[in-house]
Amino acid sequence: MSKQYHINVSKNDIKNSNFCLICGDPGRVPRISKFLKDSEELSFNREYRVHLGYIDSTPVLISSMGIGAPSTAIGIEEFGFLGVNTFIRVGTSGILSNKVKLGDIVSAIGAIRDEGTSKQYVDYEFPAVANPDVIVALRKAVKRLGFSLIFHEGIVHSKDAFYTENPEMIPDSTIHQKWEMWKKAGTLITEMECSVLFTISQIRGWRSGGIMAAIGNTDSGALIIDPKKGQEEAIKTAIEAIKVLIETDV
């Protein structure tokens, strides 16, 4: 069967996998796939680096999506064309809430749609929410792994422009007011992909969720403090959540 244009893999390549762990950075793909059995690289085209590995006998895909909503939308749509129906984002984020500390991990149950791609699908009144099965699976995974003390669950903020995290760099003074609004409303973190992932998944009938490592603090102005802190915990949580879903899907 023909390969998808951007991700450069076919239905035969993915071994009928239903599960895909997605991330932004192509360099994170091998760091995820090393925790799976018999993992191999299927393709590396543009920002889409695709690996396939196994949890017992179940094939699981890992793919980078690049940064932001447009490339994420393209990637998950093409995997969806091949029959993939469950996505978990394994990402990084900036802290908005003082409840979250550097190196903590955050499960997104819903996302603020402060990006433009999902608007191309449906108006902003439509909510961007994670699938309940995935939310519960991530919660169970955290308990199994003993990560409860560094785990948070709640609303995240998804944006298009990374450097609006530092409002002083933007001439529009209303940007600062918006950031304060998100914080006062209890938003935990800011990132760039969850809202488009959740919105498209709802429309297409897929399951999706996201687990993000907090690697920087928006309040302090230090956008990236430690890019690796919390990432391994997020990766392990996502993989364990896939195991939970495999068990419950039987």
What residues contact 156, with CB distance under 8 A and at least 6 apart?
93, 106, 108, 110, 111, 112, 187, 188, 189, 190, 191, 194, 210, 212
* Strand-strand pairing, 105-114 and 207-217: antiparallel
pLDDT in tens, 71-125: 999 999 999 999 999 999 999 999 999 999 999 999 999 999 999 999 999 999 9
How far apart (Å, rounded) are the C-alpha atoms in residues 220 and 58?
43
Which residue, among 198, 197, 206, 203, has the nearest Cα to 82 in the 3D structure? Answer: 206
Residue carrying structure tokens 């391994």: 232
How far apart (Å, rounded) are the C-alpha atoms in residues 119 and 125?
10
How far apart (Å, rounded) are the C-alpha atoms in residues 193 and 90?
10
Please report the pLDDT score of residue 163 as a whole number: 84
Residue 200, pLDDT > 70, answer yes
Instruction: Identify the DSSP state of 118.
Output: G
Total residue count of the chain as it appears in this document: 250
Contact 128, 118 (CB under 8 A): yes
How far apart (Å, rounded) are the C-alpha atoms in residues 115 and 110?
14
Angular region, 226: left φ>0, alpha ψ -120 to 50, beta rest: beta
Alpha helices in the chain (DSSP H): 28-33, 69-81, 132-145, 174-184, 194-204, 231-249
What residues contact 80, with CB distance under 8 A and at least 6 apart?
204, 206
Mean pLDDT (the chain) is 95
Three-state DSSP state, 39? strand
User: For the structural domain made of 19-249, what CATH number should be given?
Assistant: 3.40.50.1580
How far apart (Å, rounded) are the C-alpha atoms in residues 139 and 125?
28
Angle between helices 231-249 and 132-145 (to 10 degrees): 120
Longest distance between any two alpha carbons in the chain, whole Å: 54
Of the candidate ranges 112-121, 209-218, 234-243, the one whose mean pLDDT is the lowest: 209-218
pLDDT in tens, 128-175: 999 999 999 999 999 999 999 999 999 999 999 988 877 677 777 688
End-to-end CA distance of the chain: 28
Q: Enumerate the domain spans of the chain.
A: 19-249
Residue 67, pLDDT > 80, answer yes
